Amino acid sequence: MPLLDVTIPEGALTPEAEGTLMKNLTNILIRNEGADPDNEVVQSIAWVFVHRPAEVYVAGEAADLPRYKVVAQVPEGQFNDERRAGMTAEVTEAILDAEPDDRPRDPMRVWVFSMEIPDGNWGAAGRTVRLADIAGIAMGDMEKGKAYADRVLAERRGEPIPA
């Protein structure tokens, strides 16, 4: 259940470029979470919320060019240093690629925050949803999902890995 909060200032992108960007960002998030972007079930639980500030300020002054903020949230255990780095690099490039060609290509205008939600703190469908539940849904097998989650969370926490 990856989730993106994407802040795009009003008028920064054309509607067509933004539509393509949302699909690209969704696939980037899914891939960097360690899942398959071609999995329809995974796609169905990957949400993007777009936030539109009318104004963005830098050093107390109205920004001269658009600034973008992307907050990627995934269940605990899904990001590592390599995936976070990939997420940041790919999101930055995708956003800059979506901008008009006449705009300066400045990666400092894109900030990306890759965050994990501790297991047991994600809720959906009126209940707590754990990594085992999410992985089981994505894999189409609840037992495989539980085994995956038990292994990933044990590794992350430095606990003995279940047999």
Second-level CATH architecture of 3-117: 2-Layer Sandwich (3.30)
Of 140, 135, 86, nearest to 114 (Cα)?
86
State the DSSP H helix or E strand holding residue 151, giving kind and residue range, or none if neither: helix 142-157
Class of residue 74 by CB neighbours under 10 A (exposed 0-12, middle 13-18, buried 19+):
buried
Query: Position 26: which residue type?
Result: T
Residue spans per domain, the chain: 3-117, 124-163
3-state secondary structure of 127: strand
Task: Please state, in angstroms and rounded to a whole number, the distance separating the CA atoms of residues 42 and 37.
Answer: 7
Do 3 and 73 form a contact (C-beta atoms < 8 A)? yes
Query: Position 8: which residue type?
Result: I
Using the 8-state DSSP alphabet, how is residue 92 labeled?
H
Do 110 and 96 form a contact (C-beta atoms < 8 A)? yes
Q: What is the pLDDT along the chain (163 residues), one digit of tens a residue?
A: 789 999 999 999 999 999 999 999 999 999 999 999 999 999 999 999 999 999 999 999 999 999 999 999 999 999 999 999 999 999 999 999 999 999 999 999 999 999 999 999 999 999 999 999 999 999 999 999 999 999 999 999 999 988 7
Give the total residue count for the chain.
163
**Strand pairing category for 57-58 and 61-62:** antiparallel
